[in-house]
Chain A
Amino acid sequence: MDIELIGRSLRDNLLTPIPMCFALGIFSKLIHGGIKIPKEFYYAISIYLLMSIGIIGGHELAHEYQAHGVTTIWKPALMTLLLGCLTPLSAYAVLRYIGKLSIADAAGIAAHYGSTSAVTFIVANDYVGNQNVAVDAYLPTLVTILECPGIAIALIIGAVGMSMQKRAESTARSNGLDDDDEHKGKLWEALHEVLTGQSLMLMVGLLVIGFISTLVMPADKFQVFEQFFYNKNMIFRGALCIFLLEMGLVTGERLGDLLKVGPFLVAFGIIMPLIHGFVGCYLGKMAGMSLGGCAVLGAIVSSASYIAAPPAVRLTLPEANPTLSMTAALGITFPFNIAIGIPIYFWMAQMVGAPMVAKEAKPPSLMVPAVSKPAADKAGEAKPVEAKH
């Protein structure tokens, strides 16, 4: 019965425009098709999406705050911080001691898996919403908490490990200390770049703006902004389709690298997110989050960063091979999560017994036989693309 449930939710997830646009992007790259999203347009869309998560997240956080104060928020926030510190350690341990990767490669990949992917968050949020299950209002806040500590911890492990290794290799080298200082300077610079980078600044900035303005402005005045950034998902989902199409193109470009990275990393890119996702769902439930919240938390904890982490790793751990981390994060884990992972985290959240909160008092669609959705109907004509995927 559970298998049937997973199968149905997989179909409900896959045969919707957002994953199928992603598949179309991959397909287009595989057959050397002509789809091309201009870089500046892609940046514009990603700015819109990040601002949108931020301001709507802040708006909802303000409502939560008005209703319950900080009582419902502090536990999930603390749990997320804990998860952000745990995931780079577990990823590093698996890569270094089971995968036998070098210190730099293991730490570099761990930095990607310790951080999170905002797009995975958006898609997971959307998926849970489609199941008519409510999502906790503070989740966008959790995304911003999760973004940074994982990168910092993995980079510190890498920097310390590398300098210990270097010292062991040549204890007599006179410039050992200079190297250490240089490493420290670069680490600081990389962390500064993550903290002040576009994705985190836009998200945190708009979160604060959304929070303050909701508390201060009359609700009908704020509605204008809500309409531009969200509008009951209308503009938002359309923008997400374009974004995922570009992500598909980028992923398709990298599929060839899958052969280069070897079976261990492919398995890592699928199994590690499942483990992290389960821990996320479980700890989310411990922190008192609802079903939708646990599922989304599982998805963001499992996801790997491919925007904030790569430049930071490149700067601090130049010895790490970027092909390994980018292929794992973008070529394996991201498509896995978008296509299959998110319904699995939803199922995991049900398994750990997270309490369900229905969205807008409608019956959750997972509990009743799947009603045919307009999205699934539209999907019919693009089926060959899905088959390739």
Chain B
Amino acid sequence: MQLHTLKKVTIVTEDSLKNELKRKICELGASGFTCREVQGYGSRGARSDAFASNVEFEVICPEAVAHAILTFVSHHYFEQYACIAWLSDVQVVRGARYAEPVGTTP
């Protein structure tokens, strides 16, 4: 089976940024994303109840898009929000699927 190497960006940040980030990820050229509610603890204290919870985004995309997303996140969120983000390599079956921007914004 032919496998294609792509990048996966993972972002864990505050729930209140969810809508903005959904839109931004698509605008920056991703073909889609997965997001879910998560809990955690870090430099900004516990983020695990109904009043302070986190959201985790996973985006599989070409390297250029991954860099654009990471740049946006680091410029806009790192300083003032609870936010971490990282990049990893992933192998997928249908490589072309992730190369095309989704076009619409959620």
On A, residues with C-beta under 8 Å from B are 39, 42-43, 189, 193, 246, 249-250, 253, 306-307, 310-311, 314-315, 318-319, 322-323, 326, 330
| Smallest Cβ-Cβ distance to A320: which chain B residue | B80
| Smallest Cβ-Cβ distance to A318: which chain B residue | B80
In contact, B50 and A311 (Cβ under 8 angstroms): no
Which of B13-21, B58-66, B93-101 is the contact stretch? B13-21
Query: Which B residues from 21 to 58 make CB contacts under 8 A with A?
Result: 45-46, 49-52
Q: A189-B20, A319-B80 are in contact. Are A326 and B45 (CB under 8 A)?
A: no
In contact, B50 and A43 (Cβ under 8 angstroms): yes
Q: Does B86 contact A (CB under 8 A)?
A: no
Complex alpha-carbon distance, A39 and B53, angstroms:
11
In contact, A315 and B20 (Cβ under 8 angstroms): yes
Q: A253-B46, A323-B45 are in contact. Are A315 and B17 (CB under 8 A)?
A: yes
In contact, A253 and B20 (Cβ under 8 angstroms): no
Task: Select which of B19, B46, B81 is within 8 A of A318 by beta carbon.
Answer: B81
Complex alpha-carbon distance, A193 and B19, angstroms:
10
| Smallest Cβ-Cβ distance to B77: which chain A residue | A318
Output the least CB separation between B51 and chain A (Å). 6
Output the least CB separation between B66 and chain A (Å). 23
Q: How large is the interface on B (under 10, 10 to 19, 20 to 34, 35 or more residues)?
A: 10 to 19
| Smallest Cβ-Cβ distance to A39: which chain B residue | B50
In contact, B50 and A322 (Cβ under 8 angstroms): no
| Smallest Cβ-Cβ distance to A329: which chain B residue | B51
- Leading 6 A-B pairs by shortest Cβ distance: A318-B80, A311-B16, A314-B16, A250-B49, A315-B16, A39-B50
| Smallest Cβ-Cβ distance to A322: which chain B residue | B52
Output the least CB separation between A44 and chain B (Å). 12
Complex alpha-carbon distance, A273 and B15, angstroms:
29
Complex alpha-carbon distance, A198 and B78, angstroms:
28
Output the least CB separation between A325 and chain B (Å). 11
| Smallest Cβ-Cβ distance to B15: which chain A residue | A311
| Smallest Cβ-Cβ distance to A313: which chain B residue | B16
In contact, A253 and B49 (Cβ under 8 angstroms): yes
Given contacts A250-B49, A253-B49, 15 further A-B contacts (CB under 8 A): A39-B49, A43-B50, A193-B19, A246-B50, A249-B49, A253-B46, A306-B51, A307-B51, A310-B16, A310-B51, A311-B15, A311-B16, A315-B20, A318-B80, A330-B51
Output the least CB separation between B49 and chain A (Å). 5
Note all chain B residues with C-beta closer than 8 A to A249: 49
In contact, A326 and B16 (Cβ under 8 angstroms): no
Complex alpha-carbon distance, A359 and B81, angstroms:
50
Complex alpha-carbon distance, A90 and B52, angstroms:
27
| Smallest Cβ-Cβ distance to B48: which chain A residue | A253
Note all chain B residues with C-beta closer than 8 A to A250: 49-51
> What per-residue 1/0 map shows which CB atoms of B58-97 lie under 8 Å from chain A?
0000000000000000000000110000000000000000
Ordered by A's residue number, 30 sampled pairs between the chains whose C-beta atoms are within 8 Å are A39-B49, A39-B50, A42-B50, A43-B50, A189-B19, A193-B19, A249-B49, A250-B49, A250-B50, A253-B46, A253-B49, A306-B51, A307-B51, A310-B16, A310-B51, A311-B15, A311-B16, A314-B16, A314-B17, A314-B81, A315-B16, A315-B17, A315-B20, A318-B80, A318-B81, A319-B80, A322-B52, A323-B45, A326-B51, A330-B51
| Smallest Cβ-Cβ distance to B37: which chain A residue | A39
| Smallest Cβ-Cβ distance to B82: which chain A residue | A322
Most buried by A among B15, B19, B52, B81: B52
Output the least CB separation between A333 and chain B (Å). 14
Complex alpha-carbon distance, A313 and B14, angstroms:
13
| Smallest Cβ-Cβ distance to A256: which chain B residue | B45
Complex alpha-carbon distance, A330 and B46, angstroms:
16
Complex alpha-carbon distance, A133 and B39, angstroms:
44
Complex alpha-carbon distance, A315 and B17, angstroms:
7
Complex alpha-carbon distance, A250 and B49, angstroms:
7
Note all chain A residues with C-beta closer than 8 A to B46: 253
Complex alpha-carbon distance, A342 and B74, angstroms:
45
Output the least CB separation between A201 and chain B (Å). 16
| Smallest Cβ-Cβ distance to B18: which chain A residue | A311
Most buried by A among B14, B15, B45, B51: B51
